[in-house]
Structures are given as C-alpha cells and as structure tokens.
Amino acid sequence: MRTADFDYELPAGLIAQRPPIERDAARMLVLDPGAATIEHALVLDLPHYLEAGDVLVLNDTRVLPARLLGRRRGGAPAEVLLLRPLAGREWEALIRPARKLPAGAVVDFEGSPLRITVLGGEEETRRVRLEGEAALDEVRRIGRMPTPPYIKEPLGDPERYQTVFGSREGSAAAPTAGLHFSPRLFSGLRDRGITIAFVTLHVGLDTFAPVREEEPSGHRIHREAFRLGQETAAAIASARETGRRVVAVGTTCVRVLESCARDDGFVSAGEGWTDLYVLPGFRFRVVDAMLTNFHLPRSTLLMLVSAFAGRECVLAAYREAIRLEYRFYSFGDCMLIAGRARS
C-alpha cells in the first residue's frame, strides 16, 4: 500500500468556498459498499436512510477562534495559532514567522491586554504562554476562526464554522460532517426514532495535513483529546443488544468510538488522548455506518474512509461525485456510507 494509491484529481472549482445557505440543504451521496450502489439525496433525507433505534453519534466539540494576528516586539507582524492547551496558561501553537520568534519572544495585540510569550519547542510547533488579564476571554474576543488553507474567501459569519450543537470548546478545526445538522434535521431524526448521542474529540490541524511519506505507515499522527460519556456508552450497548446500527457522523467520531471499542462491539466510557491511525486492513468493532464529507487526496481521513468502505469503492464514488459536480471539503457536500465493506 502506497500513499499514491489515495490520490485523485479535483478541479479547483469544486472546492467549496462558502457554506450552503441552509445547513441541511447540502447534497448527500449514499454509498452501499456491499451492493456497490450509489444514490443521490440531500442531507435533509438522512432520517429516511436510518431505522428506529439506530444510534447517531456526533462530535460536540466547539472551535476556539484561535488565529491571533499581532506584532512582535519591534513592530513586525506575527501570527499565533493556538492548537491545544497544556499546563496552566501554556499552549501548543503554530507561530509565524517561526525563525524570527525564538524562545523569549513576545507577541502583542493592538487594543488588547493579551500578550503571548514563546517558551520553546519543536520547529513545527512551539510552547507559548498566554499572559494578561482574562487571557482566554481575550482570545475569544480578538481571535479569528482557523479555517482551512484551501478556503480563500473570508468567512462572513464565524458561527457557520461551528456546529449548532457544539458545547465543548477546544478544537483547532471544525468536525465538518456535523456542520450539516440543523434543528430541522434533528427534529426529523427524533421523529424517526433515531437515538442521538455525543462524543468529544478536539480536532487538531492534522485533519488538513497530507501524508508525505511514500508509505502511509511512515506517517506520524498527533494525539487529540477525547471524551466518551457513560450515556453514549449505554446508548451503544442498547443498539448492540437490539441489533441496531451505530452511525458515526464524521471521521472524528469514528476515531473516538474505535479508540474506546471492545472486541465484542461495545464501548467503554472514558477520556484521554488518542493517536489512532486507521488504514485499510483495520478491523472496525463499533461503527456500522458513517456520514462524512469528501476529503483531501493523500490524507489520513481519506485512508480511514477507504479502510471502512474499500479504497476502490470510495475512489469510484469520488469520481462520480466529481462528474456530478458535488462540492468538496469543509463547506462541501457529504457522503453516507451505509455499511462496511465486505471482508
């Protein structure tokens, strides 16, 4: 297996630059790997593809507007992107220009008491310390949404890069499959008898990182903080006992569920850090179906989806989506994978 096996060509015009007017109005390609069939629907049709008693699991993380534009002492521009909290007021962060911000450098922000001191760290990421009164509140006030680099247009409404149900702040990127959900869609799911459950995974910037090694196994995936509560574990246990499905909304939910999985298909409640890296050949123990956006070529997310539905089947679906001009990536359309690939 080579990284090039997960490459595909996407016309630049199909990269969605803005969210749809209505969250639940995006298109939804429905893929059944077992039957090798494709249907075309809308996200609002999702309840019709599920059955009463199925458990739909969503990631309730919330994005911190952590892209901070300031100036280093001396007046030159500097940018800090907070990635994840460490101890106290320390954070892991990306900083620019990294070479001109060594340990001890300070970044100030106009009109704000917030200042950030660089403490050290690796070349790729640094440890920084937030200083000043109500520092994290100031981050929320002056920070910008860390939208992906392929989105070139300014984000008119920052809330459109948040899910309507997100409640646990801490992500550096949105769990994009969850962006499609609206109160109207939740109402339709509940009317159908679908059980809604939540996990938390605070998404890091690895979600946008291509795999650069020739073999995917050589790629390093960073840890991300997760939580799976007792209520969600109980809902999954009930689904297992009654023969209903567990449907993960997004690859982030897949990683949490499979990180907490037991061999019998149940999950254990808990929290911690996961660096689960799912490649073809992985044995899924919990997830029966998946709703997911269309992912970047050569990405760990595309590899995860290919592990679930089969590489050739997924790439064939992507070709069909491109032919029909589906919208791709964070603000794009999505794909419901109705079951696992046959082993």
- For residues 286 and 229, state if they share a domain: yes
pLDDT > 70? residue 244? yes
Is 270 contained in some domain?
yes
Q: Tens digits of per-residue pLDDT, 165-224?
A: 999 999 989 999 999 999 999 999 999 999 999 999 999 876 667 788 999 989 988 889
- CA–CA distance, 283 with 285 (Å, rounded to integer): 6
Tokens 């001396």 sit on residue: 74
Taking the C-alpha atoms of residue 244 and residue 54, their distance in angstroms, rounded to an integer, is: 5
What is the average pLDDT across 2-21? Answer: 95
pLDDT score of 222:
81
Residue 39 placed within a domain: yes
pLDDT at 188: 98
Cβ neighbourhood burial of 2 (10 Å; 0-12, 13-18, 19+): exposed
What's the CA gap between 313 and 242, in Å, rounded?
Answer: 29
Q: Token digits for 54?
A: 């199925």
300-309 helix and 311-323 helix, angle to the nearest 10 degrees: 110
Q: Which residues, listed in sequence order, are joined to residue 182 by a DSSP beta bridge?
A: none
Maximum C-alpha span of the chain: 65
Same-domain status, 264 and 331: yes
Evaluate if residue 340 carries a pLDDT over 90.
Answer: no
Question: Does some domain include residue 150?
Answer: no
pLDDT of residue 341: 67
Helix axes 300-309, 251-259, angle to 10 degrees: 70
Residue 82 covered by a domain: yes
Q: Kindly report each contact of residues 182-187 with a partner whose C-beta sits within 8 Å and lies 24 or more positions away, as own/partner.
A: 182/22, 182/23, 182/24, 184/24, 184/44, 185/23, 185/24, 185/43, 185/44, 185/46, 185/47
Give 74-108 pLDDT, tens digit per residue. 889 999 999 888 888 999 999 999 888 999 999 99
SS3 letters for 103-132?
A: CCCEEECCCCCCEEEEEECCCCCEEEEEEC
On the question of pLDDT at 306 being above 60, the answer is yes
Same domain, 173 and 32: yes
Which ranges constitute the DSSP H helices of the chain? 135-142, 183-191, 230-242, 251-259, 300-309, 311-323
Q: Which two tokens stand for residue 45?
A: 């049709």
Inside any domain, residue 58: yes
Give pLDDT tens digits for 34-61: 888 999 999 999 999 999 999 999 999 9
pLDDT digits (tens, 9 = 90+) for 251-285: 999 999 999 999 999 999 999 999 999 999 999 99
Q: Is 115 exposed, middle or buried (0-12, 13-18, 19+ CB in 10 A)?
A: middle
Q: Please check whether residue 343 lies inside any domain of the structure.
A: no
* Whole-number pLDDT of residue 229: 98
Structure tokens at 36: 């090798």
Task: Please say if the pLDDT value at position 343 is more than 80.
Answer: no
* Total count of domains within the chain: 2
Say if residue 166 is in the same domain as residue 282: yes
Domain hosting 182: range is: 3-63+157-337
Both tokens assigned to 327:
């919208």
Contacts of 262 by beta carbon, 8 Å cutoff, 6+ apart: 268, 285
Kindly state whether residues 175 and 85 are assigned to the same domain. no
Q: Indicate the Cα dihedral angle 299, 302, 307, 308, nearest 10°.
A: 150
Are 258 and 278 in contact, with CB atoms under 8 Å apart?
Answer: yes
Give the chain's mean pLDDT. 93
